[in-house]
Amino acid sequence: MTVNYSRILGFCKLERSLLGHQLEIATDKDVIVVNGLSHFNAIPQVNAINSAISSFIERKIELIDRDFKKAALGQYLRESRLQSTQRIIEPMVVLFNKNCESWKEHISNKHFERMNQFTRLLPLSKSADSLRKIHMDRVLADRISFYDSIESNPLTDEQRLSVVQHDDYNMVLAAAGTGKTSVMVAKTTDILERGLAKPDEVMVLAFGREAAKELRDRSKERLKKADISYDLDKQISTFHSRGYQIIAKAQNMSVEDFKKLNMSRLRKDEARKEFINNWLITFIEASDDNLNAFIETVYYAYNPFLSKSEAEHQEALKGKEFFTLNGVKVKGYQEVLIGNWLFKNGIDYTYEENYGKEIGQDIGFPYHPDFLIKGTNVFIEHFGIDKDGNTRAGINKDEYNKQIIEKIDLHDRMGTRLVKTFHYNWCDGELESELESQLKAFGIEINPISKEKIIEAVNQQDFIKNAVHELSSTLGAVRSEDIKGDKIRERLETAKIQNAKSHQLLIESLRQAYVYELTSRNQLDYDSMILLATEYLQNGMFKPEWKYILVDEFQDISVSRWKFLMELLKAPDCSLTAVGDDWQAIFAFTGGKLEYTTRFKKELGNHALAKLQKTFRYNNSIADTAGGFVMKNPEQYEKRIVTHTKVNTPEVYLMDNQDAERDPVQATLNVVERAILEIYEKDPSASVAVLSRYNKTKDAAKARFTKSRGFQKMHFWTLHGSKGLEADYCFILDLNQGAFGFPSERKDNEIVSALMPTIDVYPHAEERRLFYVAITRSKKRCYLVADPKQPSEFVLELLSPEYELNIVSEYFTPEKLAARKCPNCETGYMKPKKGHWGVYECSTGLGCTNHLGERTEAVDCEECDGLAVKKRGFGECISCKSRFELCPSCKAPKVVRTHSTKKYLFVGCSSYRGGEDKSCKFVSSLSPVHKKQLKDKDRIPL
């Protein structure tokens, strides 16, 4: 009888039986029994057999140990290889556990202990990290000279760890200034140097040409210094160019030949906008339905009754302005509808005229009805109540309804006629029919104007010009998200976008026309390079063979790029390294999906994570301020930044922009100029950068300083454009409230946001990250230049004691800020109103009203340095609570004056400035009450 050793499950046993001794050997199928052995013969046979089995098992343990070390320690133990690696030792461990005592008796202590070690390693899912650490420690020790020399400074421990991690999926979170480019170069080179892959099996993907060029240039420089002969030019490309290469190869063409035939001019921003402009004109001229749909999409169709609080109402309207087709600025969307209906039906009107002035009588208080039909005494008031008389949140229902009755009674008494429309008319879709029936009843003729005149008005108001910009972003959104048809409407309705049907008609019609333009010419734009390449990968027209893929700026990856990347990763044994920083995700408007970074595990499963948290760029004061601020958002990864440079004083300065110059931008630049001169006096070789949220401010700063001597070492960046750059001293501008403030309160991207939904709902999430990027451009000191009269929400947050700012302004004290706080909303501050002497308005915009629905405005108090808020013809000071009458013409305080030559008393306006422009000329006679108030003063407030 012969038995293969591989079938034997353990050592043989010798048992006594009636016929002598019995030998038993357990195999994988049964137990082999040999009977009738004498004691004399059995003992030597058993010993010989067990000795042979022992040798076999020990040899097998050694082979398993060799294979296991190669799989688990000779390379990085990837998650996908855990099961196959576990199968190397698991069968032997099962045998060992069943026969532990006999194995202990027969095999050597060394082999027995190794089996114990194997047993403790199972399951590998629990011991994998320790095995990976052993592997990485060996690699780091063996290649220490490489990691010391591949960059100008030795790699940090965190950088080295990120270089040697090679799981299936690897995330490297690199905070600002922590050397992510060094990691990209070092890891790519390390893979090739260690023979983990051939050059054509490695791919590095960057987002833009400049980023790809920087990686190539940096690679050449570092490899040359390290005397390494690899050329990484072919490995490094943008997503678009890699997609283009795949398409060309799938069509059996060289990239050069393919490029000559297939690159569309529409890949250029200006050409795309020209196409959209021409298409849009054709679209609205094609039918009345198209024109009406377009006009509906122009406006932010806001329902004020959806807001649950005054603060929510103000937030919804922040940065919003409403202009009718004939250019009249009104307070809200429903008033836009009224104004547009009047215009389209040939009815001339004025908006919010002074009622008393129009009827030639002083009614004792300022009253400005919404609309007046020119040449008539017909007024229109749109009242914000539902059918039960309820008002939106923040408006006193009883007082508002009382005011409605008072206004109706006033018109009855004065003999003027009033058209009354209500919020519920709009809700029921009857607003226009109500207007028509009431106006006809008052004898107003309805004369609809031609479609051509409406289109002319649309052009005059720049609606098409503005829409082209928005539609370009919208087109990019639907192509980036790869959505069409009903999916567009579904996303709009999910986001509660009003007029979703009209938006879908416009967007889908544009998308179809655009795609037809490309396909009919067999051409590609940038989106097509990725979309078509993904399609070729999915249908097998191109087979990916890359083993290592590294992606730069991963936090900005879009849906289409993600799908493209997932197809590339289907190559056998492929590993992804995603390098980025969730704190610097600032390009959502181009399709960037932060959740692919913050929810990396949810998307891809277990992965290796490395955090680069040591920076050599900025000091601990800048790091603590910027890091603490951005981590308020729980969606961001937690990182604890360690800085090479330590300081003991706050190096983030808060300055005000108060200056004698009336223009706020020039006033800000005056303040910045004085600070820069002080910097150059102390640090002549310093680099200085001026950062702004908007191009307009950047251009103003550049024009100002490039013309002045002594400012040659300056840089001018937008916040988005500053990413990746640095300067010794940085000034951050535009820190004020409003549509063009920071954070930006513009609400003109609701459609793009709806089409590219995000799970990150923290307030101003992307703007917070943009602020982090801005602050961390500074190497030595960062200056925040803010407007205390309309302070940025970010500045107000940074005034909290948890942030250590160096506040070099008296205007940001709690007392100073409180004196200018809007009394009618939670976030606004009273700022000077353009074109009005001594008049202030809420920084949140026209949407801010008091509990009666009156627009929030204020004037300088005549008794103190505070501001007096206007209410029903009077002003009441926020600070000293004094109360006085307001001028009916300009709303400034009335004052009693003595005529300079004739010496008689009269009532005038505090905004009187002699012959200056915008000087108020209001005068009225003195009443007995006024005479009693005078008390021998030349000028007193009333």
In the DSSP assignment, the letter for residue 553 is S
DSSP 563-604: HHHHHHTTSTT-EEEEEE-GGG---GGGT--THHHHTHHHHH
Q: Which residues make up each annotated binding site? A: 174-181
SS3 content of the chain, % helix, strand, coil (to 5): 45, 20, 35
**d(Cα 374, Cα 363) in Å, to the nearest integer?**
21
Could you list the beta-strand ranges (E) of 352-416. Answer: 371-373, 378-383
Cβ count near 638 (within 10 Å) = 9
In contact, 37 and 23? CB cutoff 8 Å: yes
Q: Which residues make up each annotated binding site for ATP? A: 174-181
What separation in angstroms does the CA of 940 have from each of 450, 719, 839, 907, 919? 55, 49, 18, 10, 18
What separation in angstroms does the CA of 125 have from each of 130, 153, 601, 876? 10, 36, 16, 71
- E strand or H helix that includes residue 841: strand 839-842
In contact, 36 and 15? CB cutoff 8 Å: no
Those residues with Cβ within 8 angstroms of residue 684's Cβ, 6 or more apart along the chain or in another chain: none
φ and ψ at 99, to 5 degrees?
Answer: -125, 35
φ and ψ at 371, to 5 degrees?
Answer: -135, 150
In contact, 82 and 128? CB cutoff 8 Å: yes
**How far from chain centre, in Å, is Cα 541?**
36
What separation in angstroms does the CA of 639 have from each of 388, 597, 628, 675? 53, 14, 10, 33
In contact, 555 and 772? CB cutoff 8 Å: no
The number of C-alpha atoms within 13 Å of 692 and in the hemisphere containing its C-beta is 18
**d(Cα 933, Cα 527) in Å, to the nearest integer?**
73
Burial class (CB in 10 A: 0-12, 13-18, 19+), 471: buried
Q: Residue ranges of the alpha helices (H) in 841-926?
A: none
3-state secondary structure of 304: helix
Here the contacts of 223-226 (C-beta below 8 Å, separation 24 or greater) are 223/185, 223/189, 225/149, 226/146, 226/149, 226/150, 226/189
In contact, 332 and 302? CB cutoff 8 Å: yes
Give the burial string for 70-93 (b: 16+ CB within 10 Å, else e): ebbeebbbbbebbeebbebbbebb
Signed CA dihedral, 720, 721, 724, 728: sign only = negative
In contact, 623 and 785? CB cutoff 8 Å: no
**d(Cα 431, Cα 373) in Å, to the nearest integer?**
17
